């Protein structure tokens, strides 16, 4: 199987996991979406746990790259922090999907250890980036990490509320309330 097929499998698995979580990953359905037999997926991923871990790892790696692009876009940490919720909004814009790792975090007790590790890495990447941006925005050191965690949790929670109502306007209103309260620097 080619690398293109592997990438197609990862992309299909990502879309599935963003809509249905880890529990929704099914080799037969993914194979049908990609146009291959389910058995062909085993060439790259010995089982569901390995596929789930690979998808979650790719997701946080892509997110880390997107975060770096945000921070380098114009070099202004406040603008980067202001743009941060947009990364979560994009999932909602794509057929009301969730952040893949947020969805999987809700299934945490049922995840294989390898998937848990990747889901935790996603949160760690977000908190580390937010902490760095808050430092660059001159937020006092004693409050940076706690505030970074609060921003991450608030934005992920806003996504969850908006998804449950299929309402992007609700997401936007919640994000504006976080900015108005000072949680997310304006």
Q: Average the pLDDT over 139-148 and give the result.
A: 94
Distance from C-alpha of 186 to C-alpha of 182, rounded to nearest angstrom: 7
Give 123-183 as a DSSP string.
HHHHHHHHHHHHHHTT--HHHHHHHHHHHHHHHHHHHHHHHHHT-HHHHHHHHHHHHHHTS
Report the greatest alpha carbon distance in the chain: 55
Provide the angle, in degrees to the nearest 10, between the axes of the packed helices 141-165 and 168-181. Answer: 160
Q: Could you give the residue ranges of the DSSP H alpha helices within 27-112?
A: 27-34, 38-41, 48-72, 77-83, 85-93, 100-106
- Of the candidate CATH numbers 3.40.50.2020, 1.10.287.610, 1.10.357.10, 2.60.40.2470, the domain formed by 53-181 belongs to 1.10.357.10
Asked if residues 52 and 111 have their Cβ atoms less than 8 Å apart, the reply is: yes
Local confidence band at 1 (pLDDT 50, 70, 90 cut-offs): very low
Over the stretch 76-97, which tens digit does the pLDDT of each residue have? 999 999 999 999 999 999 989 8
Whether the per-residue pLDDT at 158 is higher than 50: the answer is yes
Position 115 scores a pLDDT of 97
Distance from C-alpha of 15 to C-alpha of 169, rounded to nearest angstrom: 23
Q: Average the pLDDT over 146-171 and give the result.
A: 97
Whether the full predicted model's pTM is greater than 0.75, yes or no, is: yes
């Amino acid at each position: 199987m080619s690398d293109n097929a592997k990438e197609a499998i990862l992309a299909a698995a990502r879309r599935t996991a963003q809509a249905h979580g880890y529990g929704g990953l099914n080799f037969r359905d993914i194979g049908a979406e990609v146009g291959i037999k389910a058995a062909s997926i085993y060439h790259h991923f010995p089982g569901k746990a390995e596929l789930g871990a690979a998808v979650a790892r790719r997701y946080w790696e892509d997110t880390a790259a997107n975060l770096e692009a945000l921070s380098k876009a114009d070099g202004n940490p406040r603008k980067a922090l202001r743009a941060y919720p947009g990364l979560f909004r994009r999932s909602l814009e794509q057929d009301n999907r969730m952040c893949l790792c947020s969805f999987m975090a809700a299934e945490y007790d049922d995840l294989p250890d390898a998937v848990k590790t990747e889901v935790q890495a996603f949160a760690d990447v977000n908190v580390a980036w937010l902490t760095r941006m808050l430092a660059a925005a001159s937020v006092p050191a004693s409050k940076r990490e706690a505030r970074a965690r609060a921003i991450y949790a608030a934005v992920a929670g806003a996504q969850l509320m908006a998804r449950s109502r299929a309402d992007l306007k609700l997401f936007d209103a919640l994000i504006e309330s976080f900015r108005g309260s000072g949680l997310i620097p304006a």
